[in-house]
Structure 1
């Protein structure tokens, strides 16, 4: 009696099942907050014209800061 051959997909599943657990999922490290976004409220005031906004990369003059050359 012969054993059926495993497909490559079955071999990968078996190999993944035999792998040791990853260290950071085993509870050794406390959960960390990687980032927290802070977006201050912005008043909707004067805006650039569409052509100006495309040229400068922003619709709001308060956000425009050209690079010094």
Structure 2
């Protein structure tokens, strides 16, 4: 962790994941940036990631991003 960014790592039998949050210079301001990197572990990890892919993209990410945007606009 630094003044402008934060990283978390998680590993188990199915995946190894890293999440990075940062404030990135954007002209005279800063903007938030999020990156999540996931590497499946073995056949079980690949099958798991393939199975949850549609669920994440259709049911998890859209409302999550809408909620973050709404909170951001309120502030």
TM-score, normalised relative to structure 1: 0.27
More helix by share: 2
More strand by share: 2
TM-score, normalised relative to structure 2: 0.25
The structure whose Rg is larger is 1
- The answer to which structure, 1 or 2, has the higher relative contact order (CA under 8 A, 6+ apart) is 2
